[in-house]
Amino acid sequence: MSKNLKRTKKYAILIIRKERGISQQEPADKLNINRALISQIETGFVLPNFDTLLNIARILNCLITDLYRKEEINFIKEIRNKED
pTM of the model: 0.69
Domain layout of the chain by residue ranges: 3-83
3-83 has CATH 1.20.1740.10 classification: no
Instruction: Say which DSSP state 26 is in.
Output: H
User: Tens digit of pLDDT per residue, the chain (84 long)?
Assistant: 445 545 445 567 888 999 999 999 999 999 999 999 999 988 878 888 889 989 999 999 998 888 776 666 677 677 778 876
Question: What pLDDT is recorded for position 10?
Answer: 57
pLDDT at 27: 95
How far, in Å, are 6, 45, 56, 81 from residue 41 at the CA level? 10, 6, 10, 23
- Residue 48 CB: number of other CB atoms within 10 A? 19
